Structure 1
Amino acid sequence: MASLDDLSQVLAVVRGTTSVTRTELFAELGWSRVTVRRRIDELVAAGILESVGARRSTGGRPPQSLGLRPGFGVLLAADIGGSETRVAVCDFSGHIESARSVALDVAQGPDVVLPRVRALFDTLLDQTGHTFREVLGVGVGVPGPVDFAAGRLVRPPIMPGWDGVSPAAGLFPENPDVPVLIDHDANLLALGEYRRGRPDARDFILVKLGQGLGLSLVIEGAVWRGGTGMAGELGHMRIAEGGACRCGRHGCLESIAGGWAIGRRLREAGHQVTTSDDVVDLALGGNQLATDSLSGAGALIGEALVNVVGLVNPTTIVVAGNLARAGELLMAPIRDALEAGVPDYLRGTFVLEHSRLGVDAGVTGAALLALEAVCSPTYLQRHVCVHE
């Protein structure tokens, strides 16, 4: 129905900000005031929108702002990493009510990982006083290539047994009407960072540095996934120094600069490390091999980003992921390599910054991806009564 499309467009504007006035909706959508009022009334009657208070008046009656009603339903989010997974229960506006991180090796396969994620969802729902009947959508980030349109993984290099897997079947089999969206974890970090951390940064690169290395592009305010949804595999960019990679090839950036490669070198030297956090803890504690490894990784990552900067011309490069917790031990060599490598005309055109959301960027992005699906015409028809 045309009105479902209208309602979805209204919600797209509202989702893009913390609150919006009716006047701003008129201006953004370009519809008649009668049509906008009707669609707002339908969304308010359905319990999806609510008044969130008055803006400061510039003369006359203060304008009333509209926003998503947080209590309309629950969104579940999972950020599945190479060695650690973070899950969250979020309200309908995408804000986290409760979150938890656990050590979980993605190489154990979907038959182990997905039931564990589902059990964590069960626990958090119980802790927050919610039930699965309230769940409207689920967002999942994974550290591998994703066919976004089909909702499945495609030959992920570091995820044995995951090829062709769609998480929906393992997470929510009892209710196929609930959308379960999957995306590359770097894309969800970028989505969360953009929507909640830096809404005015319309063009930026997000680099995820953890066990693996990922990259996402935000271009003109939208995550760019590429022709088949699988852009962003920074870790498997070929470099001269690269060695044997866990993807089965040789010469990948990740084979030297990834958290798993650094961890392997540290274990060979007799150190007990498992996760990227272990690597960072060792470096921050003053271990010379760990600090040298992070510095060398940063230099190589910075050199790789020189090529990306030349192609994309971003205003900001955001560094996220567990390795980013090393701070200047990693950021300084990345910055130095960028400054030394970019052409003169690109110097001073971008800044290098840490993620503003930290560990919550991934689950925030996953929740917002689920929210986008819930607000689409396909799923919106289950929650509203429309009138032409």
Structure 2
Amino acid sequence: MTTLFDPLQLGAFSVPNRVFMAPLTRARAGEAHLPNAMMAEHYAQRASAGLLIAEATMAMAGNSAFWKEPGIHSQAQVEGWRLVTDAVHAAGGRIFLQIWHGGRACHPDLNGDAQPVAPSAIAITSDMVYTPKGKVAYAVPRALRDDELPGIVAGFRQAAENAKAAGFDGVEVHGANGYLLDAFLRDGSNQRSGPYGGSRENRARLMFEVIEAACSVWGSDRVGLRLSPLNSFNSMIDSDPVGLTTWLAGELNRFKLAYLHLMRGDFKGLQKGDLMTPARAAYRGVLVGNMGYSGEEAAQAVAAGQLDAVAFGVPFLANPDLPARLRAGAPLNKANPATFYTEGPAGYTDYPYWQPQPATQPA
């Protein structure tokens, strides 16, 4: 029976366990969006993960959606990320970079007054964004022209090149949570016509072009994709998320990716449905589940063949040695949400490791 702690062939290489760290935006890169030594320490602490997936990282300049998130579009950022990858590799870990365009979740106050872009001129209304001016409403985005989309693809390709120069083991394309590629994919946010709108084949076109660009740099066996067809975060919805997932899972087989990383639920609990069963039936590669899995549920899903691995978010945030804790049935640290997006090491690099208690000696 397969367990969470068995090795897994992940595209081009083998990983020692199936407990992955999900990408978690922590806003520790400062206003210059530069990865740094504190981030290197954070990721190296968690190097026992089968795979670390680094946080959403700006593929192109001028597309900030979190104020102090990292980028991968300048030489200084490449050098900053090299601190991270060197530290992770020295600790025996493996790390992919999640490359990302914030789309309509970007804000003029974060991007030199530039208007955000999207498939259609529809603003996010369900949430607000943190900026240097405080918490403000999202702006109405500008609909991208078809002739601008090759530039978006080229930007992702350059980000993949930069990730390779920074020493990553691969990249994950961010196609989830209402950001640019997901906004093109789902029909609630994509109301355009032409080759990138209308049918699901057209709505998925930009995502597939970005995947192809990343694969041209890395080879498909070092590229992953994250999807969230049910998640309503960032005012997202699709008229048929289960059907979209089933179709995508089948279409993605032709890319022979390292993995498909699927978020199974909705942050806000508004949309329901079983995505994992049809995805498992249709997808022939490595399927990684994410969102709200306990250690016990993750172990059961892997043992039953429903998933090949599970990506943990908040539990890995608070427990740098999560695989060891899960294997031993040890208690978990509780995360402190007040420090999720603050500056400095508090709630970032100071969560304690679990130390097994010595066996009681007989009298």
TM over 0.5: no
Judging by fraction of residues, say which structure has more strand: 1
Q: TM-score normalized by structure 2?
A: 0.28
Mark the structure with the bigger radius of gyration: 1
Judging by fraction of residues, say which structure has more helix: 1
Q: TM-score normalized by structure 1?
A: 0.26
